[in-house]
Each structure stands twice: as C-alpha cells, then as structure tokens.
Structure 1
C-alpha cells in the first residue's frame, strides 16, 4: 500500500482517486476547491485525505509536499490534469520519486516548447510561429499561410483555439488570447500565441503509456469535431476504423513524437491529423485522455488506463505491454447546441434511453444554469456513451441519440 498525491484531479483524473483506493492505496488529493478547481464531492469521498491549497502556486505546493513526505513517505505524485504536469514532475524529482523529467514536463505542457522539441528532432509537423507581440501577427500569417490556426500556448479544452481565414481574424484571435480576462482554472492565459499551419484531414487521438523508456500504444481513437472555426470535440469512437497500414504509420509517428518530447513515464494522449503527407501532430498531453476515453477503452478492450497510470508512477510493473483484446467498439457523443445558453429540461426518446447498448446519458450543466460560451468544451450540454459490435453500429446509435435529444 502506498500513500500517493493527486494534484487537482479533473476529468479522467478524478477517477484516479477511486482506482487508487480500489488498488489498496491511500490517495491524498490537493485541490484549491474554488473557481473551476472543484473536485466532485462523490470523488473526494474516496480520498484518504484532502488538502485545500492554491494548486496554481507551485512554491506552496512543493513546500506542502515536502512536509507531507517528511511526516509519512509518499510513493508517488501524480498530476490530476495537464496543467499540473510540471509541478508534479518537479515534486517527484525533489522527493526522489518516479516521475517525468521536469524539463520534459515543460515541453509537454507549453505548446511552443513542444513544437520546438519536435522540430529539433526532425519529426514532421505543422509549421508554427510563436507570436509574442501584436505587430508580429502579419509576418507569422505570411509564413504559415491562410487559413491558419491561432492557439494559446498554455490552455486546454480547445479554449481560444480558432481557425482564421484572414489577417484581420488572426489579429483578433491573438488579441483574445492576450486579454487579461482570458483565464481557466484560475490561471492566466500567457499573452503569447502560436500561429500554425492549418492541416486538412481526419483527426485521431492515440492513447498509450511509457514504461521502462518504451512507448506503448493501446488504441487509436477517431475524433469528431464540432463546426469550425472552433475545434470543440464533439465525440470519440474507438478503436478507429483505420486500414492496418495507416494505423501502423500513425503508431510509429506518435512513438517518434513521444521520444522527441522526452516523455519517460506514464500515460499520454496524442492528437494527430492525417494529411496527404502523413500523420501530423496537433498536440500531446502527458496525462490520461479526457472525455471519458479511458471508460471507452475499458468497455471496448478491457484496458484499465487508470491502473496503468498509478502503477507507472509508483514504479511498479505495469503488466502486459500490448493493446487489449478488442471485444466491441465504444463511443461518446457530446450534445452541441451553440444556440442554447440556458435550458430547463432534457428529454430522450425512451426507446433509445432504454437501449442496453447505451451505458450512460448525462448532463454537464444543471437545468436553469447559464451554459458557458460554446466555443470551448465547457459549452457542451451533455453526452451519451454507447457500445456496439462494429464501428458502424456504434456511430449509428450515437447519431440517433444525438438527433433525438431535445433541450427546452
């Protein structure tokens, strides 16, 4: 049994608490318990201890972890969300625990450092230019061409990521990123932006982990995106319906990216688009995939990414380093209704709601509450999770539920 730290768990990171307890460990949660940094109370109930601390203050977090370690030795420090990968890596290094190299953690979190590391390793990726001042936008757009993508370097959930078709749109997108009010999880968006080549082609995510210096790919997931110019994720289906040759090419490419970034331990979630010239990196997170993808992976292939993550960070044997056996396909579809900013009820055709292939239909916002801006993942209203014997069966069922759900 190990006493382990989970810093600010969100999304899939919340289930690390339950899984750690189920595996016989003592999970201690660090959370600010304010703004968006609130862990659901039903998840916190599984923690052996909860410490309220400003998780955005690295010095305070590191001091607290040193004190906790001196009182009762810790077995691991895990980031509960991608914003906390750097501080978890620094804490692990300071305490002599297994963890990501702190320099690699910076490359894995800050997207401009990620782009530079991949370029230095001579791995193909979209052209990108870092813009630090408004007067640099025109030169950046000229270099990468139009349309292009403007994104912040330290945010998540598609926040402030936008395709632009003109120079004026690019200037406006950079201005939004530089706005002091642009915050998430109580963190200021850095006032710099990446202007990147727009890649045409289908998008996939690659779920895997690194153990003993080797990257293992568990699954390739097909991604569905909402309408551009935003890039809000509308759904996922796994395993993706890909020809074997293309799947092998994507897998090989992602392994090269992982090596270029220096990720030496733990889970990863890589996002790539397949262009005419091959797979190209959108970004890679040293974390569990979000959007219930670990649940889909468990449903479809019997793979437990939460257990893999905990064992990797504890320095324990991870187990079989091969993808799970495909039993079925699984998918999730988010309800995108950008015209709705407030609703009181959600209704679903009972014939669909009672279908045994549907494992969950849930809301993401309370009835009557104002729905956030639809330009990021926060503006999604709810979701459905479903399984099927084939890719086509699963996607057809997700389509049917999405069309049948009514908000009023």
Structure 2
C-alpha cells in the first residue's frame, strides 16, 4: 500500500489586519495553519488548524510546526506582523519552508541598531549613533553627543519609548525609562542595547516598496505628520507625498541601495526617511507593509493593495504582474486623534459619520477619561478622507477635524 500523500498547507504567524490577510491567503485555496498568541472564534472559523501558542517562545513554535510537518507539507510561511518577522525567518531557516526574508535580513531590519550600523558602513545617509546598555555608560558617550538626540530601544515599534532629549538630564531619564522595561509591547525581551542617535532635522516621509528578486519598485511615498514635542507620535499620513521633484528623485534612488545593503531581496518594505539639507536619511526600515492604515491610503490612490502584493511575492509572483485594483482617489489622508493632556474626551460623532469621511474608528467613547498620548499605541482614534481634483485630502481632513469639535478637557 502506497504512502499517504501529505496535505499542503500555508503557515500564518500572527495576524495584523482583522480578516483581511486571512482572506488574501485563502485565495490560494490551500488549508491555513494559524499560529497566534490568542485566536478568537472568527479567525478560528477562517482556517483549518488554529493554534494558540506563545509566539515569543520560538523553540516551541518550531517544535509545533515540526510535529505538524508529519501530516502537512508546509508550502510557505506568511506574516505581516512587525514583531513576528524574525520568528518567521527563523522557522524558515530551521524547517526549510519558504519565507521572503533570510534570517539575517530580518534581523537587520527588525533590530534598529543593525540597520543603522549597516547603512553607516555603506555610507548611505550617515547618522551618528552611540549604543549604551546602562545609565552608567552615559558619561563615556556624552563628549561625542550634540543635543538634541533621539533615544530608543533597538527592537520596539510604534514609536514606543522613543524620546527626543535636549539635555543630559532628559537623556539620563530616557535611558532609565527604557531600562525599567524588560520586554517590548508584545512581551519579547528588549535588546540590551539602547540607541542614542543625532536628531535629524527635516520633514518625514515613508516609502512603500515592493522588491522581487532584488528588483525594487516604489509603490508610493507617504507624507508623515508627527508631533513636534519630545515624543514622536504620528498625527497623520497623506498619499501621495507633497515633495519637491529633486527630493523625490533622491529618495527613489536611495531606497534600492538601502534594501540591498540590508539583504532584502524579496518583500514589501516600509522605510521611514527624513529629507535633510544633506539629502534623505533613513530613520528605520520595516520588512512589512506600513501600519496606521497606510495600505488603505495607498490602495485608494495607486490601486495596489500592499497586503496582496506581500502575498503575491510569497507565492513567487513576478514584479511585472503585480495585482492591481481601480484607483478611487487623487489623494488620501488619515488624521489621528490624540490627547494632549489627561482629561475627558469630546468629539462630534455626527461629523465623523458625514459623507466627507471614508472611514473612522474611535478607541474610546465620548466623555470617557483618557491619558496623554505618548506613543502610537494610545491614540484615541482616526478618520480617513479622500481628495479629488477640486479639494486635496489634507484640506478635507482639516475641515472634518475642525467641525468635529475634538478636545480633551
């Protein structure tokens, strides 16, 4: 009697956008094995094999998939979750299952210290950097520091624990604040090294790119609006970015060099840059589509769904046949709602439900008590507007914000 053929399956590590990525993966018509820290009923019903497991325990995840490989032929690994990129790459390396990134490329993007070291070594938009592991090392680096500086953990995300420091006192406090935390937002061990970087002056943008077999295509450049205080909370995004022609050309020429230096040969990347008097400089590189609903804005303006492109690449698709939808807007923008202080939140929901708004979401209810927003993780909500030939999305965002009577009192 012949050996029973294994069933082919796709492994999804973590989820990010509710339902959307699972629906994309399902288009291939293969069973899905979903591994997540928690799996709700809705996701469980979408897949063949839902598994609740501690994703921070990579060895347990690998062991579980080794067990499943007895019954399934694991065709590929797919994740769009920033915190799970390295895990997916390690599984790919250990079990020889295809994933877009090599393990080293995943580490180079995920670990901000690696990104900075490599780009400085290649001479791509050099940014001065120091690494410390404890407060006691600060006197050794103070002589080489020119304030203001940026202090941040190497393996966190969402601008969490990132602080701009103008004085030695603020620098010491920022390092202490990071050292008080042993884990990042999802419970992974924080890297021992803390980055102290020169503050880069200039407007900020992000570049949404698609790379296949080492060839990179820029899908969109997003204009970013961030708070001007010591915490870098993103207030809004606009696609396409309003950029001078020369600045845009420099960015487009730089990104392929950045990705090549980091070892990224395939995948969707979200690269944050600032345009300076010395040319564009990289803030960080993320080996996945951007967050903050940027993929929604990009799809509306370009027709490209970054999640679909990521899966297209995973399935071996070519750069000349990228899936594309209809373009529905000349410009698109998102406005986040922040709390500048502690207090009671107020907003006119009627305005957010008007025809000017394509989508909105509130994290808190009107009249609810809120804390000051100090990272991308504790904003109060957002709304999205599209622009046309007559009125840009930025103007519509401004109109809606003013009419919504948003305040914390």
Q: TM-score, normalised by structure 1?
A: 0.90
Deviation at 1:392, TM superposition (A): 5.9
Deviation at 1:103, TM superposition (A): 1.3
Q: Give the match for residue 83 of structure 1.
A: 83
* Cα distance change, pair 368–44 in 1 and its aligned pair in 2 (3 A): farther
Aligned ranges 1:308-387 → 2 under 5 Å: 308-320=309-321, 327-340=329-342, 343=345, 346-350=347-351, 353-355=353-355, 357-365=356-364, 371=370, 374-387=373-386
CA contact (8 A) 1:348 1:404 kept: no
* Cα distance change, pair 323–367 in 1 and its aligned pair in 2 (3 A): same
Deviations 1:269-310 (A, max 9, x none): 000000100000100000111011111111111102111111
Deviation at 1:82, TM superposition (A): 1.2
Match of 1:24 among 12, 17, 29: 29
Matches of 1:159 and 1:71 in 2, distance apart? 41
Q: Give the match for residue 256 of structure 2.
A: 255
SS class of match (1:119) = helix
SS class of match (1:280) = strand
SS class of match (2:74) = coil
* Cα distance change, pair 42–320 in 1 and its aligned pair in 2 (3 A): same
The alignment of Structure 1 onto Structure 2 pairs a total of residues equal to 399
Deviations 1:139-163 (A, max 9, x none): 4343241011001101000000010
Aligned ranges 1:136-155 → 2 under 5 Å: 136-155=137-156
Q: Give the match for residue 58 of structure 1.
A: 58
Q: What are structure 1's unaligned runs of at least 5 residues?
A: 34-38
Deviation at 1:9, TM superposition (A): 1.8
Deviation at 1:26, TM superposition (A): 3.3
SS class of match (1:75) = strand
* Cα distance change, pair 290–44 in 1 and its aligned pair in 2 (3 A): farther
Deviation at 1:198, TM superposition (A): 0.2
Aligned ranges 1:65-144 → 2 under 5 Å: 65-99=65-99, 100-144=101-145
Q: Give the match for residue 245 of structure 2.
A: 244
Deviation at 1:230, TM superposition (A): 0.4
Deviation at 1:325, TM superposition (A): 8.6
Deviation at 1:42, TM superposition (A): 4.7
Matches of 1:278 and 1:199 in 2, distance apart? 11
CA contact (8 A) 1:134 1:174 kept: yes
Matches of 1:214 and 1:97 in 2, distance apart? 23
Q: What are structure 2's unaligned runs of at least 5 residues?
A: 1-6
Deviation at 1:91, TM superposition (A): 1.1
| Structure 1 stretch displaced more, 216-225 or 394-403 | 394-403
Q: TM-score, normalised by structure 2?
A: 0.89
CA contact (8 A) 1:371 1:379 kept: no
Q: Give the match for residue 9 of structure 2.
A: 3
* Cα distance change, pair 390–312 in 1 and its aligned pair in 2 (3 A): same
* Cα distance change, pair 341–72 in 1 and its aligned pair in 2 (3 A): farther
Deviation at 1:403, TM superposition (A): 2.6
* Cα distance change, pair 7–372 in 1 and its aligned pair in 2 (3 A): farther
CA contact (8 A) 2:339 2:371 kept: no
* Cα distance change, pair 335–199 in 1 and its aligned pair in 2 (3 A): same
Matches of 1:376 and 1:314 in 2, distance apart? 35
CA contact (8 A) 2:89 2:103 kept: yes
* Cα distance change, pair 361–119 in 1 and its aligned pair in 2 (3 A): same
* Cα distance change, pair 266–185 in 1 and its aligned pair in 2 (3 A): same
